[in-house]
């Protein structure tokens, strides 16, 4: 794999020498490939190529662009095994995490955008309601921004990196994808797939590199889509502000789950375990903290402990060989250890796990924490690992107060009698809340996904998820008109008085 993927990296980036980045398999510690660390000058060259290619790509029209992307959808399915192996090798996640959360999502997302892009970006007729413009034709239209920079995270190198490229491309833009330096190989493989699917040269390019490469990309593009930490998101926004480049940001989260006394505890426990441990807990909308009403707290905790206790952790060598994979990013392992140590020092108990797994690879044992409170980092800061802190609360109101006590507002979940749970969900300070479910809203591409507070700006998915990659233009058309409208120069007393009476009459009766 190393030599093949290095060849892909060099051919896609046009860079066969210079600084390189070693890509490691976090489950084994083995170096599996090297990719180029692109300079700012090389990024500027990619931008020139992308801008030149974008004109022809946009001119092809929706139908032609959709045909290319539908071929890419088939390519993804035909090459699913190769993609999964690449994702697993550079992230350390399990085969199931790679297939269901990445391949499955991508197939659905391409199908959705290919079907709906034209409708979402079609000209919209606007009804005139203001007196001065009655009889005029009002139109809103959408135009591709040009060159989009997508800066992706390391936890989902397909879903949260290439996933944003799909609507950007279908809107008629060219794209430069800057993947995380930790997980660049999937993006390079997708570039190969797009080329084989008939995408014109230069429309999609991959800029491998570290933070400096990403910063250079922000300087060169017409819009930035960034997914990652809130801290880095602020830096991206500050950099983009220097050139007034628009940004969309999906940032950190500390997603709460509330379990009410009338919840189906078996379902609630199953989903708490699955969505806290999915992808090794490295999901921005995973379940990261749980608040359980006192009458059902003990029963819920016991169910969770029993389920976590039988999870298999280790290197995933094929389907159904492990439930919990590795920690992908070395620094993240340190954060997980710090959060658990902090909680234990402040009185929490680890009913399972509570330590880094000895041996090769970067693994942290699936950990259930109890006796937790908001003095602990595990309850207030983004841990991003296979940990599940569970807190007992007196009632739903206390649970909601604690759930909302966070600078983040990305996702959340409420379990209980449906109507009661829905009422509580509507009061949760988060951009997406599930009732008797969790996280699955992300694959509902029809539904906007975006964070409140420090969890981001803008949304992905739905109509807004493709319109953000466009600039809006208003067209105002005078179809039937005089040579000189009555309100224009020269002013005449009789005409002015008549106009004043007309305005008072039109608006004075509340007519709109």
293 Cβ neighbours under 8 A, 6+ residues apart: 259, 260, 261, 393, 394, 395, 396, 399
User: Torsions phi, psi of 460, nearest 5?
Assistant: -115, 160
Q: Using an 8 Å Cβ cutoff, are 350 and 305 in contact?
A: no
The encoded tokens of residue 16 equal 């066969």
Q: Which string of DSSP letters, residue by residue, matches 294-324?
A: HHHHHHHHHHHHHHHHT--BS---STTS-SB
User: Torsions phi, psi of 388, nearest 5?
Assistant: -140, 95
Strands (E), 188-309: 204-206, 223-227, 247-250, 256-259, 289-293
Strands 349-352 and 223-227: unpaired
- Kindly report the CA angle at 509 between 503 and 510, in degrees rounded to 5? 95
How far apart CA 314 and CA 474 sit, in angstroms, is: 56
- Kindly report the CA angle at 69 between 66 and 73, in degrees rounded to 5? 130
Neighbours of 508 (CB within 10 A): 9
Residues labelled catalytic: 250, 284
Helix, strand, coil shares of the chain as percentages rounded to 5? 45, 20, 35
Q: Using an 8 Å Cβ cutoff, are 366 and 308 in contact?
A: yes
């Amino acid at each position: 794999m190393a030599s093949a993927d290095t060849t892909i990296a060099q051919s896609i980036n046009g860079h066969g020498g210079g600084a390189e980045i070693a890509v490691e398999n976090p489950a084994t510690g083995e170096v599996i490939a090297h990719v180029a660390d692109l300079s700012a000058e090389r990024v500027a060259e990619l931008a020139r190529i992308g801008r030149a290619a974008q004109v022809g790509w946009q001119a092809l029209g929706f139908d032609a662009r959709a045909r290319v992307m539908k071929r890419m959808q088939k390519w993804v399915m035909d090459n699913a095994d190769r993609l999964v192996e690449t994702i697993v090798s550079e992230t350390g996640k399990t085969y199931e995490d790679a297939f269901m959360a990445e391949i499955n999502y991508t197939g659905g997302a391409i199908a959705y955008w290919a079907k709906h892009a034209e409708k979402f970006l079609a000209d919209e007729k606007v009804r005139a309601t203001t007196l001065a413009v009655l009889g005029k034709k009002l139109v809103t239209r959408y135009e591709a921004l040009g060159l989009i920079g997508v800066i992706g995270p390391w936890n989902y190198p397909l879903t949260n990196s290439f996933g944003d490229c799909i609507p950007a491309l279908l809107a008629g833009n060219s794209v430069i994808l800057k993947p995380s330096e930790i997980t660049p190989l999937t993006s390079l493989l997708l570039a190969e797939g797009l080329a084989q699917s008939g995408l014109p040269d230069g429309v999609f390019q991959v800029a491998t590199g570290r933070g400096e490469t990403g910063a250079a990309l922000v300087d060169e593009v017409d819009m930035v889509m960034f997914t990652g930490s809130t801290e880095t998101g602020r830096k991206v926004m500050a950099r983009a502000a220097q050139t007034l480049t628009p940004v969309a940001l999906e940032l950190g989260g500390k997603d709460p789950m509330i379990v009410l006394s009338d919840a189906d505890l078996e379902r609630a426990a199953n989903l708490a375990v699955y969505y806290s441990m999915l992808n090794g807990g490295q999901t921005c909308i995973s379940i990261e903290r749980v608040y359980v009403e006192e009458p059902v707290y003990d029963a819920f905790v016991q169910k969770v402990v029993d389920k976590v206790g039988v999870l298999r952790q280790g290197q995933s060598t094929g389907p159904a060989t492990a439930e919990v994979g590795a920690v992908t990013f070395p620094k993240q392992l340190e954060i997980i250890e710090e959060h658990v140590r902090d909680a234990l020092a402040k009185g929490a108990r680890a009913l399972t796990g509570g330590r880094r797994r000895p041996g090769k690879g970067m693994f942290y044992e699936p950990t259930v924490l109890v006796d937790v409170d908001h003095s602990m980092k595990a309850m207030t800061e983004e841990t991003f690992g296979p940990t599940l802190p569970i807190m007992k609360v007196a009632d739903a109101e206390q649970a909601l107060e604690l759930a909302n006590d966070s600078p983040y507002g990305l996702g959340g979940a409420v379990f209980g009698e449906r109507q009661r749970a829905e009422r509580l969900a509507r009061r949760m300070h988060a951009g997406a809340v599930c009732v008797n479910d969790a996280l699955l809203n992300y694959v509902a591409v029809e539904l906007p996904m975006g964070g409140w507070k420090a969890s981001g700006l803008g949304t992905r998915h739905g109509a807004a998820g493709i319109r953000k990659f466009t600039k809006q233009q208003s067209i105002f058309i005078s179809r039937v008109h005089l040579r000189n409208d009555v309100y224009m120069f020269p002013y005449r007393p009789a005409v002015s008085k008549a106009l004043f009476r007309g305005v008072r009459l039109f608006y004075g009766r509340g007519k709109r």
